[in-house]
Every structure is written in structure tokens, then in C-alpha cells.
Amino acid sequence: MDPRRSTPPPSGQSWLPAVRPRNPIARPEDVRPEDVYTVDPPTGPPPGEPTPPETPAHRWRRLTRTRQGATGLAILVAALLLWPFAGWFWIPWLAGLVVLVLIALLRLDRLLHGWAGHVAGLAVVIGLMLATGPWDWALAASLGVLLAGLVQWPWWRLAAVGAVLCLVAGTGWGVDRYRVAQERAAQEAQRSQENMSQLGERSPDRVLSALVEGIGQGDVVGVCGLLAEPARNQFATVAGTPDCASAVAHFHSALPRVPPLRGLAAPVAATAGGATVDGCRTVWASPDLGGPTVGVLQIGKAPPPGQTYFISSFAPCAAG
């Protein structure tokens, strides 16, 4: 008979499945009661209580396993996020390539111990930051937080924080962009006003001749400086070009030489703010140049100190 089965359990212990021998290879004559019977402590909820549902463990998904890999990934993401805000400016990437080549030529990669690519990446990020502004950095960082939260899904709290940061940074970025656009428009208007004061004509009857002469000479500054912004936009639209300079080149190709001024006599009618020049019977209204859709010139007067005349807008010729 097995001596372990003949030995009664000590007091307070029972024959349960949790009972297990501590030393199963011991000889029967060496077995003591306290070595045979052990009772594992009860686990789980008390009898009668429901078992709590298991919750999934939210753990970070490690995209990289080394410090160098994590740092390189952060630098790459920062560069890619800043690149659109820099207008896809490629010079910083070229600078990073130059830094990488210099490190290889100077044998500095041995001193950097695998961090040469990171140094080149930092050069790219710094170059992109110099081509952008603080609100661009804030929005790019917010997008990075949002992307990190989406990668770690279902840990949605980080994604929610990133979405809020994107909303705040996007609002500031939009306001800053609007302010910059307004400042540029004001500067452009001021520059245009100065050009018209310097490049405008002294009398309204000279404006049409100056316009056609400038086109014949390919004088971009003279022609575009003679046009106010509405007239400049109409001028480019008729030529089918994106800007005034391209329109001058377009019309110059059709009129490579300065036309005779005797064909530019046009009626001039005085108005409250300047004059109206009817160029519908001149070379200006020919299909090779402006055409009848812009045959009539609305002339404005620049403020002091120049007090010169310029083209404020164009109007179509009367039917018939």
C-alpha cells in the first residue's frame, strides 16, 4: 500500500484536487505529513459573485526596438509633416544629402556610431523650420500627436488630444495665413500705386499709346505698371495667361515691333475720376492684341505726388 495514501491529512486540510505533494521523488520512509499535503490559496471571486469581465491591456505598439530607430522615425515624421507647410521646398533635403556626404568624406561616421543619418535628418528638419513659421510647427506637431494616437488605437485618448490640438493649431494657422495674405495684398497695392505714380502718363490721351508701345517693346514693367489690379487681371484673362508678365510676352509675340502711333488716335472723354479712351477703332482692339472685349480703357488718376494717369479697368466695345 502507498504510505502517502495511508497517512491521514493533518488537521485543517482535506483531500482536495488542490492538494499536491511538495517532493514527489522522496522515498516513502522519508515522507513527513507536512511535506505531503499543501493547499493552494483560493483564487478568483468568492463563491456566488459574478466573475468580472476581462479588459484588454492597452499597450504601446513598439514600432522600433532601438533608441536610434525611434529617433530616426521621429525625425523622418517631423520632416514629412513640415514639408507641405514649406511649399514642398526641396532645398533642405538637398542640404541633408550634402551633410551626409560630408560626414562620409570626413570619416565622421565612425565617431557618430550610427547616428550619421540622424544628423543629416536634423539638417533637413532645421532647413524646413527656417522656411516655415511657428504656427506651421504647431500644426505639424499636432498632426504628429494625432497620427501617434491613431497608431496606438484603441488607446483613443492620445488621438483625442491630437484632434483637439489640430483644431486649435489649425485655427491659429488659418488666421495667421489670412493676416499674411492681407499684408501681402496691402504691400502689393502700395507697390502698384507707387508704380502707377512713377510709370503713369501725364495725360489721358497718352495712355493707350504707352500701352501698345510697351507691348511692342516687351516692356513688362512699363505695361504692368500702367495697369491697376482690376485692369491687370482683365489683361491676363484676355491673353489666357496666369499673370501680367506672361500676358505681355503673349501679346508681344503677336506684335513684335512697335506699331505706328498714327493708328492709335482714340476719342477721349473726361469723367469724374479721370477719363474714358475708346480704342475700339485702333490696333489695340484687333484680334492679335486685346480685342473688342477690352477695347475701351477706363482711365484713373494717381494721387499726389505723381498725379499721373493709369488704366483702372477695361470695358467692351459697343455692339455694332
pLDDT tens, residue by residue, 25-69: 556 565 565 555 555 555 656 666 666 555 444 444 455 567 777
Measured between its terminal Cα atoms, the distance across the chain in Å is 130
Does a structural domain hold residue 57? no
Same domain, 185 and 213: no
Same domain, 266 and 162: no
Amino acid at position 111, single letter:
L
Binned at pLDDT 50, 70 and 90, residue 268 comes out as confident
Does a structural domain hold residue 124? yes
CA separation for the pair 291, 280 (Å, rounded) = 8
Q: Average per-residue pLDDT in the chain?
A: 77
Same domain, 235 and 277: yes
Does a structural domain hold residue 213? yes
Same domain, 219 and 180: no
Does a structural domain hold residue 46? no
Please give the average per-residue pLDDT across 288-314, as a whole number.
83
Same domain, 207 and 288: yes
Please give the average per-residue pLDDT across 143-147, as a whole number.
81
**Long-range CB contact pairs, 26-30, < 8 A, 24+:** 28/2, 28/3, 28/4, 29/3
Does a structural domain hold residue 189? yes
Does a structural domain hold residue 49? no
Boundary-marking domain end, from 150, 169, 194: 194
pLDDT at 314 over 90: yes
- Window from 18-32, 215-229, 239-253 with minimum mean pLDDT: 18-32
Q: Which three cell numbers stand for residue 182?
A: 492681407
Same domain, 78 and 184: no
310 by DSSP, 3-state: which? strand
Same domain, 253 and 296: yes
**Structurally, how many domains does the chain consist of?**
4
Same domain, 204 and 292: yes
DSSP string, 86-147: TTS--HHHHHHHHHHHHHHHTTTHHHHTT-HHHHHHHHHHHHHHHTS-HHHHHHHHHHHHHH
Boundary-marking domain end, from 175, 194, 213: 194
DSSP string, 157-216: HHHHHHHHHHHHHHHHHHHHHHHHHHHHHHHHHHHHHHHHHHHSBSSGGGHHHHHHHHHH
146: closest CA among 158, 162, 160? 162
Boundary-marking domain end, from 101, 132, 163: 132
CA atoms within 13 A on the CB side of 173: 19
Amino acid at position 305, single letter:
P
DSSP string, 223-287: HHHTB-HHHHHHHHHHHT-SSHHHHHHHHHHH--SPPPGGGG---EEE-SSEEEEE-TTSGGGST
Binned at pLDDT 50, 70 and 90, residue 14 comes out as low
Phi, psi of 242 (to 5 degrees): -75, -20
Instruction: Calculate the CA 294 to chain-centre distance.
Output: 38
Strands 268-270 and 296-301, by their bridges, are: unpaired
Cβ–Cβ under 8 Å, residues 297 and 208: yes
Please give the average per-residue pLDDT across 94-115, as a whole number.
88
Please give the average per-residue pLDDT across 84-101, as a whole number.
90
> Domain residues for 32?
1-40
227: closest CA among 218, 235, 219? 235
